[in-house]
A and B are shown apart, each in its own frame.
Chain A
Amino acid sequence: MVFTLAARELRSMFLSPMAWVILAVISALCAYFFLLYIDLYLQLQPRLAATPNAPGITDIIVMPLFSTAATILLLVTPLLTMRLISEERRSQTLSLLMSAPVSMTEIILGKFLGVFAFVSLMLALVAVMPLSLLAGGEIDIGLWASGLLGLVLLLASFCSLGLYVSTLTTQPTVAAVATFGLLLLLWVLNLAGSTGNEGGGVLSYLSLLSHYQPLLKGIFSSTDIIYYLLLISSCLVLSVRRLDADRLQH
């Protein structure tokens, strides 16, 4: 049932030009950055050859690419998640799901998986790009995989947060703006940590970015993974509860 809902979501996305435009823009932007980083590497190469234990092409090309991709996707995800529930509310299609024999949890999971499947497709496009370097050199597949895992978890958190915000309103635009604001706030929370204020450590710990960076360096820490999984599941639980509250007296 969850997959039926997810498939419908994905299908509707591809039936509008939006999905195609987003895929095209993301690929074009990431490809441009990819070329920039390759160029940078070619400039640095003579000096790198002289230094012992120098960073490899994965460190100089792939990881910055993943880091840039995360920023670009931060801007794009709110546009994907904004319509999830709010649009259904607006066009009154939610009652189709509400009167069908499906639970709220199934609806939310279906929606989440649908949008996450689309996001994974975007990620696949970005992730395959550096693999082309295999033709002329060697990349650190372990590091690449760790960076990709970070990106997947990060994007899943973006999606779940966006989904929750979308359950709060009937206006997709409001959902988009609110999601964007929240994500950006979570993204830059660690700036407060770096100024050395009291409590800065906590804020830095809550930041999405500070759990992504270790993965980009190839440090796989279960704390980071659990942080993302907690964020995702709490957003999903909140969404289910919010959707359920539509029926209740309030």
Chain B
Amino acid sequence: MTDDILIKVEQLTRYYGVQATNDTVRAAVDNISFEVRRGEVLGFLGPNGAGKSTTMRMITGNLAPSHGRITINGIDILDKPKQAKADIGFLPEIPPLYRELTVDEYLQFCARLNRIPRDKQTNAIGSAKARCGLSDVGKRLISNLSKGYQQRVGIAQAIIHSPAVVVLDEPTVGLDPIQIREIRHLIRELSNEHSVILSTHILPEVQATCDRVQIINQGKLVLSDSIEGLVQRMQTSSLRLRTKNRTNNNLLLAIEGIVAVDMIDEDCVQIKHKPEINPATAIAKMTVEQGWELLELTPERRSLEEIFVDITTAEQTADEQTEKAGVAA
């Protein structure tokens, strides 16, 4: 990864339909700014209708933003669309395939469309096919391929001209688990030379493939963090202790750093502690000394799902509150 910024999005906004004069107008994408460096894989997360696809379609020049600026590799996409688009490969939600063509014919068309010089076309097609595992199906009609293979043709189309920026909208939808692993591997491999933005609502996919995560909800960017940062968010300051015999909670509370002890059931307690002190060793020692017979002592983690739900629903309740306040005023 270098400091070379390939995608720069500044205050991007797009409204739904006609922009009304009153302020009730809803924005599909509301004032989003972010950057993607070379070699980085950025995961775009969000519930359905959050504005992921709209953002991606704006970055790739399929939609014009209502406000804001997008620069691809230093070129403004609104000022010089042709030059900027030469650096973009885009796989939309539904792969844009001409089903009546064979894979080879289709990729050749894409190679020409992206102005690859004639003498380099064969190589470009060959390497795109090899990278997406399409070498055996070159002569087959796209309409006869399975969904997974069609998806791969879609990805091959996006990377055929080795663009600086690859934008993939839900690339693993409809694939079987093996194919999903292959595609994830391919995405990691792409990040060696390209910047990749991918959107998904499959959370483990983000953990598996991305360097950075952005969660978007109702058109607003609600979280932007690296994967390490996200993992840190997932750690909470609580432990789960399971023993054969019943524990004495007052004794546990006496250990330094423990804030609260909650019974979950007969033989299991949740222990909350101060984040700066990890009392695990002390607890283990006490369990042995008191003869409680330790069965399980695990740090509790919030799943990515929980963070996601937390963030997206917290926003909503905050919104509702401000709305209510507005009505009251």
Contacts and interface: CB of A to CB of B under 8 A. Distances in A.
Interface in A13-51: 15-16
A4 interface: yes
Contacts of B81: 101, 103
B113 A102 contact: yes
A40 to B, nearest CB: 43
A249 interface: yes
A15 B101 CA distance: 8
B198 to A, nearest CB: 15
Interface in B15-62: 15, 17-19, 57, 60-62
Contacts of A11: 101, 105
B83 interface: yes
A12 B92 contact: no
A91 to B, nearest CB: 8
B94 A99 contact: no
B61 A98 contact: yes
A91 B19 CA distance: 28
Contacts of A12: 98, 100-101
A41 B218 CA distance: 75
Nearest to A104: B81
Interface residues of B, number: 37
A93 interface: yes
Interface in B95-112: 96-101, 105, 109-110, 112
Given A12-B100, A101-B86, A95 B113 contact: no
Contact of A95 (B82, B90, B98): B90
Given A98-B62, A99-B60, A101-B83, A93 B113 contact: no
Interface in A229-250: 247-250
Given A4-B113, A12-B101, A247-B62, A95 B85 contact: no
Contacts of A94: 96
* Chain A residues touching B, range: 20 to 34
A8 B98 contact: yes
B109 A99 contact: no
B115 interface: yes
A147 to B, nearest CB: 35
A100 interface: yes
A96 interface: yes
Interface in B185-229: none
A95 B157 contact: no
A14 to B, nearest CB: 10
A15 B115 CA distance: 24
Given A1-B115, A4-B109, A100-B113, A95 B92 contact: yes
A249 B66 contact: yes
Interface of A: 1, 4-5, 8, 11-12, 15-16, 91-103, 247-250
Given A92-B93, A101-B86, 10 more contacts: A1-B113, A4-B112, A12-B98, A91-B94, A92-B94, A96-B110, A96-B113, A97-B113, A248-B64, A250-B18
19 contacts: A11-B105, A91-B94, A92-B94, A92-B96, A94-B96, A95-B62, A96-B96, A98-B61, A98-B62, A99-B61, A99-B85, A101-B81, A101-B82, A103-B81, A247-B62, A248-B64, A249-B19, A249-B66, A250-B18
